[in-house]
Amino acid sequence: MSTVTLRVFRFKQGDAAPHYDTFTVTAGPRTTVLEALQAVRRDQDPSLILRHSCHHASCGTCGMRVNGHEVLACVTPLADLGPVVTVEPLQNAPLVADLVVDMHPFYATFTQAGMPLVRTSDNLAGSHPAPGIETLTRFENCLECGLCLSACPVVATDPLYLGPAAMAAAWRVVQEPRGADPAQALAWVDQEHGCWRCHLAFECSTVCPNDVQPGQAIAALRQRLVQGEPAPPRPRPAAAEPAPSPARAARRGLRAWFDPRGRDVGYWAFVLHRVTGLALVFYLVLHLWVLRLLARGPQAWDDFIALARSPLFLALDGVLLFGILFHGLNGLRVALVGLGRGAARHKALFWALMAVLVVALLVGVAALVAVVHGA
């Protein structure tokens, strides 16, 4: 048995701002985060609000962020997480209290996806579902836990974005319609804030506890749309309109792009692609501004060239070369994967391209050093 300190996010409606409370718990080798939180609620603070049900990664209700990672608390061993463990609610959904967020906006997107692969047969014969739950409707392996929603950098900033889980659901309709109309699902995702808004960070696939792989599903949807799948006129779904203000306010915004906790390589590729892209636009403007010296005649230009051969300028050229190489090579990956090519091996593709970057950068830096030494 070991002692673990839990730093738990706390917020109740009416509070001015959230804060963190610390609790000390005793953990055995198989104690889960959910069990520890339940122990806190039982023995230390009954006002702690959390949601759970099945305790075996089936219901998807105990999704939360643990040390910055989106996980199901019921299957996350506490012993593996270090002496201090930070527990927070999912991001990008309206906060209800403490570790509980409102999942209604998230569930609504499944309805708009056409409720694919309705598994009404999961209802046992003679069962009596609760009022309002006439059928057990869920998208195959998806637990509807919302971890992907919390991890997605685009959901964090774009309140109109359909989101990874709903588009994975739409892809299942296309793959296996079972009487549904796949063209309707394609038409639904074929919009600015649908599959074309995704930047293929693949955080959704990384955090998914059930290997639904929404990122790959979105890439597949794009591929199908590019192949010219005929689509009927799209009905105007509610999700295409601005989300209600609580959902909008719940999104983390740009801060989420720069939160390093729990993020995988695809996420950082997305962030660096954005940063290098903006920097290159700035460079483009700067480059054109400098080129105006050409219009002023030989003396102005030749003076600038002398300045441009200084070591400081050439060092900045090295930074520029990195930006160009990263944006160009990662852009090739985004284009390929975005068209459904190599989505399953996007990480390997990224690292292969980064190897190319290193070689090209070394060659470029060697050329710059040669200029400094007057070669």
Partner 1 sequence: MNRDAGKFWWLVQAFSGVALVLLLGMHFIAQHYVAQGGLRTYADVVAYLDSPWVLALETLFLVVVAVHAALGLRAVALDLGLARGQQRLVDGAVAGFALAVVFYGLWLFTRIGGG
Instruction: Verify binding: residue 176, partner 1, rule CB under 8 A.
Output: no
Of positions 238, 278, 348, 363, contacts partner 1 by CB under 8 A: 278
Contact 33, 49 (CB under 8 A): no
Q: How many residues bind partner 1 (CB under 8 A)?
A: 51
What type of residue is 265? V
Helix (H, G, I), strand (E, B) or coil at 332: helix
Distance CA 235, CA 192 (A): 15
Hunting for tokens 């720069």 — which residue is that? 258
- CA–CA separation, 90 vs 216, rounded Å? 22
> What is the token pair recorded at 114?
């056409």
Task: Figure out which of the listed residues 59, 96, 231, 316 binds partner 1, where binding follows CB under 8 A.
Answer: 231
Residue 283 has which token pair?
A: 């460079």
CB of 283 to partner 1, least distance (A): 10
Which of the ranges 1-9, 150-158, 311-319, 350-358 carries the binding residues for partner 1, by CB under 8 A? 150-158
Does position 196 bind partner 1 by CB under 8 A?
yes
Q: Identify the residue among 15, 134, 181, 192 touching partner 1 (CB under 8 A).
A: 192
- Using CB under 8 A as the binding rule, whether residue 84 contacts partner 1 is answered as no
- The two tokens of residue 346 are 């996007």
Residue 311 engages partner 1 in binding (rule: CB under 8 A): no
In the stretch 240-269, what mask flags binding to partner 1 with x, by CB under 8 A? --x-----x--x-xx---------------
Dmax (CA) of the chain: 91
337 to 356, contacts with partner 1 by CB under 8 A? 338-339
Q: Whose Cβ is closer to partner 1: residue 146's or residue 338's? A: 338
Query: Is residue 226 at the binding interface for partner 1, with CB under 8 A as the rule?
Result: yes
Q: Is 361 exposed, middle or buried (0-12, 13-18, 19+ CB in 10 A)?
A: middle
CA 239 – CA 110 distance, rounded (Å): 11
Q: Which of 249, 294, 319, 362 touches partner 1 by CB under 8 A?
A: 294
Quote the Cα angle for 83-87-92, to 5°. Answer: 150
Strand partners, 85: 6
* 157 lines the binding site for partner 1 (CB under 8 A): yes
Q: Is 292 in the site for partner 1 (CB under 8 A)?
A: yes
Q: What minimum distance in Å lies between the beta carbon of 115 and partner 1? A: 22
CA distance 351 to 271: 16
| Contacts of 206 by beta carbon, 8 Å cutoff, 6+ apart | 151, 264, 266, 267
Residue 160 binds to partner 1 (criterion: CB under 8 A): yes
> What end-to-end distance do the CA atoms of the chain give, in Å?
66
Q: Which of 194, 215, 266, 340 binds partner 1 (CB under 8 A)?
A: 194
Q: Taking the complex as a whole, how short is the minimal distance between the CB of residue 216 and partner 1, in angstroms?
A: 17
- Residues making contact with partner 1 (CB under 8 A): 154, 157-161, 187, 190-197, 199, 222, 225-226, 231, 234, 242, 248, 251, 253-254, 274, 277-278, 280-281, 284-285, 288, 291-292, 294-295, 297-298, 301-302, 305, 324, 328, 331-332, 334-335, 338-339
